[in-house]
Structure 1
């Protein structure tokens, strides 16, 4: 089957020269050819993401055109074509080219595009869709994936990533495109002349920065805090720096070696603030100036990592759960007149720490599936029904949303808020680690960890399926010395309690996720990644001490690892 696809490309006389050369370079490597052509690059609920290069299973101008053709059909089907589509892109290879190709496909259908003149953060694209009253949005990014990747993320008219029903509709339109090589595009200059390709820049920036002022909770506090910030060669420098300055922060130090956009992400092994090595340069600079707080964003600036002095002359990188807990506690402690119907929204793999903090302020918590699109979907629902007031949303993977003028996780907002939280605690003579310890003393020692197993290619996908089947069908009664209380299977949306063998429905969309609820506030969850060739295992525990929590979480991980070694 894959050879038919390969031959179709090889025989296409108008194939892009660069892609044709790249195809020639692997013509004798059958394994590489098979991987490039054995399937179509999947357009899923979060759009698509893959390695750059020739082939139906790669990111290139043809697979991007196919996605854009599906988007055009979706926008027309919604009857919103006149409102146009906002398009942004990050610092990766081919990002601007893919943005323009998207506009050329849309323009062929008479749909206007609003394309940023230069790279912008993903959250600004989310904001731009709403600000421009566009019908949809696209951001060309592969987030924190390695340099050889790029991606295409689609947004709805609310500025959120497409929730399941809308995503299914668009996926159907994308899949109706039979031949990606034959998608028609309009001429760029003609589109510009006809007003169907409009370049946007500072006007949207200024509108976003104006909204960013609302993130500040206590504008009157002293902002005497020394900050180090690195955009990790991505899109965030300009907006983060301007946002911090307009909020009153003056001691802002940029890691200049990582400040310029670089598709190779030369100074880091991975441009992911979840990886501690991404902080190495920021930590060195922090030590040299005695900085109080270090911040790093991923290339498209929807994730924020934070590191703080640990009292030994070094810096500790906080987890996403810890940073989220600190921001949540600060918001709830210092926001006057919290609404009675206030709501925290988090994902099913995010720490229960947030729920306990929210409960202490009589604020309810809603769990969603993993993926910020589900948080954005709930915010829109609350706007329409008035049932709840959104107060904060976050996920363990360093994604936070403070104010709903964006509908995706927003590292720019998070940077401004965590700087304020750091300044507040510094005024109390405390670091963020001290503040976190206070929260642990008050609510219990919550600890989480993540085990991520990379399994690439077709064989990797088969192994991931095998792992999910094993954990789904095995009779697992105990993990790490803790009894299994219930098993939540989000593929069937059924929660099964072990004692009594009773079941109840989970009121969430279906997803290939399993969560094991253990005794004594422990749990673990396994989920194939939707954007990377990985399966992820999430662990959470709570005890009365750090030492006990560390010991317990290692025990859970060891048990799961033992089972994995048999399966891989």
Structure 2
């Protein structure tokens, strides 16, 4: 820690604003230690952290370090093809434009061109742009739905997907060899432009993306679309332009914008959290929806890869659908309107996503593939399907509000999903049904699948230790029973082993190693523990199924209480 701090203190060329903030941090020893005790970790998709001076914070120097590692990887992997360059986009957060330019400046020092958007853009458009421009990769500066004090550096490969583990490992090795982030060579903006190592992306990519967007509706736009009343909030982020244009070109005319949240705002000043998973983010959308009599409310997170949807429940109140609920509705709508489902069709979901998706897919004769948590794994499988030709991708989703319908992008796409979910709502409105009434029909057909998520934030060095201790405890003394449900199997994704408890047998899990434990319980129920890869959190996922809603609700609550009581005890013991 001391070595890193001294290096920053003694560098006479360090950014003045960072130097000033560093001076104030000296009166906060715990904060200072956390900012310098290590390098901000470059993980399997990039890095994310709080904005501040320090080797363990997001700032221009840690961004340069990440970009340098990526540049070295590109040189080693692509050789002369590095001339194809990378695409870079950024969102509405503090320092996003600056970090995007820093990335270009580092790439330029390696002779790697950067195609940089001339203004903020959604993350899924970055994914699309990489494929459209035939670049060797890309970067988006975003911290997704994290609090305002965060930003991040997210890396994409030449297919437009988030980098999978084997690529991430090579980049991480390059990054970790860089000892001094303060001395990384850069080329300034004006010189980059002279050398044509910086090229600006304007509206061309927007238009091509919107053309592709027309295909996901399969020409189903009808009079019902024009009659649907929509409230939309981009939650101060990047989605406004493309969502509105996408809806209009699909025949939607009654689009009401939450004006207080329409403009980019790095402080996300009207919400506690700019996350459509958090129902409070819909407060203003609900107010507007009530005033205009909207049929559906849609909200996107700041970088527009996640979509939340609210609709009226049986009592006429707006209620936010969970990611699992919206996912199965979209899947069922897609498959029920597809008259030519290929025999090798495959739906992809993550291991913590509802099993109801599998039931819906099976109903239409479509197979389901599970991946680890993270849309990068879904994108990786889509590419594999194309290369091998054994399966055809039809839909991908994860419980954390990420969906993909058309594979012209290779990351979760809230622009696509906004248009598709609105069309679905228009269809059901024409049938005299709300989305919740349509969901009830699916429950009656497939069973009452209910899910929930608990998360525990444990910040700093001690927090990281506690998370490790909780995971170790559940590995060393695994659940045998919970809420009167027997544990049938234990899936340890770190060891990549599935243990069948009754038979006493084991089998390999054909997925990359990940610090996740999942307990498969009787009666189609399950529990999963997973530390977050982007925040100082550990997450606890619960899944339940029964033949009626009341039983599922009671069992789900009992299951949560059983597991979280043990977690609380472990947390208290480690304080």
Is the shorter-chain TM-score for this pair beyond 0.5, marking a shared fold? yes
- How far has the Cα of 1:40 moved from its partner? 0.6
- How far has the Cα of 1:92 moved from its partner? 0.3
Question: Within 5 Å, which residues of 2 pair with 1:429-508?
Answer: 429-508=432-511
1:475 to 1:159, Cα distance in 2 relative to 1, 3 A: closer
With normalisation by structure 2, the TM-score equals: 0.98
Question: Within 5 Å, which residues of 2 pair with 1:88-99?
Answer: 88-99=89-100
Structure 2: give runs of 5+ residues left out of the alignment. Answer: none
- How far has the Cα of 1:183 moved from its partner? 0.5
Distance in 1 (alpha carbons) for counterparts of 2:528 and 2:430: 39
Matched, 1:528 2:531: yes
1:374 to 1:475, Cα distance in 2 relative to 1, 3 A: closer
With normalisation by structure 1, the TM-score equals: 0.99
Matched, 1:560 2:559: no
Distance in 2 (alpha carbons) for counterparts of 1:546 and 1:523: 17
Instruction: Name 2:24's counterpart in structure 1.
Output: 25
Query: Which of the numbers 308, 327, 331 marks the counterpart of 1:328?
Result: 331
- How far has the Cα of 1:282 moved from its partner? 0.2
Q: Deviations over 1:296-337 (max 9, x none)?
A: 000000000000011433201000000000000001000121
> Which runs of structure 1 show a deviation greater than 4 angstroms over 4 or more consecutive aligned residues?
none
Distance in 2 (alpha carbons) for counterparts of 1:74 and 1:211: 31
Structure 1: give runs of 5+ residues left out of the alignment. Answer: none
Task: Name which of structure 1's ranges 174-183 and 437-446 shifts more when overlaid on structure 2.
Answer: 174-183
3-state DSSP of counterpart to 1:452: strand
Distance in 1 (alpha carbons) for counterparts of 2:88 and 2:467: 34
Instruction: Name 2:105's counterpart in structure 1.
Output: 104
Aligned partners of 2:221 and 2:251 also within 8 Å: no
What is the number of equivalent residue pairs in this alignment?
567
Distance in 2 (alpha carbons) for counterparts of 1:475 and 1:413: 41
Instruction: Name 1:71's counterpart in structure 2.
Output: 70
Aligned partners of 2:221 and 2:423 also within 8 Å: no
Matched, 1:215 2:211: no
Aligned partners of 2:86 and 2:114 also within 8 Å: yes
Matched, 1:392 2:395: yes
Cα RMSD for the two superposed structures: 0.7
Task: Name which of structure 1's ranges 486-495 and 214-223 shifts more when overlaid on structure 2.
Answer: 214-223
Distance in 2 (alpha carbons) for counterparts of 1:357 and 1:314: 27
Question: Within 5 Å, which residues of 2 pair with 1:224-235?
Answer: 224-235=227-238
Instruction: Name 1:418's counterpart in structure 2.
Output: 421
3-state DSSP of counterpart to 1:500: coil
- How far has the Cα of 1:218 moved from its partner? 4.8
Q: Deviations over 1:385-407 (max 9, x none)?
A: 11001000000000000010000
- How far has the Cα of 1:215 moved from its partner? 1.0
Question: Within 5 Å, which residues of 2 pair with 1:115-194?
Answer: 115-194=116-195
- How far has the Cα of 1:475 moved from its partner? 4.0
Instruction: Name 1:376's counterpart in structure 2.
Output: 379
Distance in 2 (alpha carbons) for counterparts of 1:287 and 1:189: 51
Aligned partners of 2:456 and 2:537 also within 8 Å: yes
Distance in 2 (alpha carbons) for counterparts of 1:266 and 1:505: 48
- How far has the Cα of 1:247 moved from its partner? 0.6
3-state DSSP of counterpart to 1:499: coil
Q: Deviations over 1:414-448 (max 9, x none)?
A: 00000000000000000000100000000000000
- How far has the Cα of 1:220 moved from its partner? 4.4
